[in-house]
Amino acid sequence: MRAVVTGAAGFIGSTLVDRLLHEGHQVVAIDNLSTGLLANLDQARRTYRLNRRFTFVQNDILAPELSDIVAGCAPDVIFHLAAQVNLRASITDPQFDARNNVLGTINVLEAARKGDVKRIVYAASGGSRYGAPEQLPVHEAVRTDPISPYAVAKLAGEMYMRAYAEMYGLSQICLALANVYGPRQNPHGEAGVITVFGRALLTGDRATIYGDGSASRDYVYVDDVVDAFMRAGSAPHGTVGTYNIGTGSQVTVLEVHQLIAAALGSPASPTHIAAKSGELHAIALDTTKAHQDLGWSPRVDLVDGVGRTIEWLHGALAPELAELVGA
């Protein structure tokens, strides 16, 4: 299989690239490196570049030449993960968010159309598309209710996927992702509470919780998410639509902090500050449809996933931790 991966230097995208290459596929990885890290692709570049199964292209999904890049490699599938994912940024600059998440997605779809690509798999937002549903876990047939610019833009991407499918016969699968976590997630950012909390506790800081900590999320490990992308990429042409990818379980932010603190043997209690506007209080996703149609189910539970993530953080933060010891 020949695959194009956008957002390939992000933590999910790079993990997908590694899985594709490990299974013998050919990959063209596209990323503008605005938030993704080239270091996330070190293994791919070191191991597979010489045999030409891996190519990295530093470019933006908004670039006019994207169609030429796609046409040049004639992929069987495009995995579209490139996105603006910062909720706060979408509120302060909704035009920037829309340029990336709406116009960027349209440009990817145009490249697929012009390059006669038959399958595209899109990273949708399961954590925001349903708004505040009355019953959890929520299934795909529940009415969508986006309540932030980010949520609106990501849902618009799904709708464009469906429109291109109707107009041009593109076989599209939208994976509505819950809160993804795991190795390579940015421990310095706003999103990714598990790596953010882990870094804080490892470096001797107190983690910050917005609100009282009762907000709950559905946390799904990155390897399980990549498995969903792999299954979607190789699904029969007639398998299309939106699929929830999560665990179906709600875990509060305070419970996540307690789990990480226990894993590290840290007695530190979190600092609580005012809750953010625009954030959902609770979400969990029903993944029955993904299990039935894609044969997908999550395999890594939260305790195991947190343990793997903390182990990675020890290595990723080694220089920072060494400086703290030296100080």
pLDDT digits (tens, 9 = 90+) for 194-240: 999 999 999 988 899 989 999 999 999 999 999 999 999 999 999 99
CA distance 186 to 244: 23
Tell me the H-state helices in the chain.
11-22, 42-48, 66-73, 87-92, 94-98, 104-114, 149-168, 193-202, 222-233, 253-264, 288-294, 302-316, 318-326
**What pTM does this model have?**
0.95
pLDDT at 327: 47
- Tens digits of residue pLDDT in 19-65: 999 999 999 999 999 999 999 999 999 988 777 899 999 999 999 99
- Please state, in angstroms and as integers, the Cα–Cα distance from residue 306 to each residue in 47, 91, 102, 124, 291, following that order: 28, 30, 33, 23, 24
Q: Does 83 have pLDDT greater than 90?
A: yes
Domain 2-181+220-248+284-299: homologous superfamily in CATH? NAD(P)-binding Rossmann-like Domain (3.40.50.720)
Q: Does 278 have pLDDT greater than 90?
A: no
Active-site residue set: 150
The amino acid at residue 12 is I
CA distance 22 to 20: 6
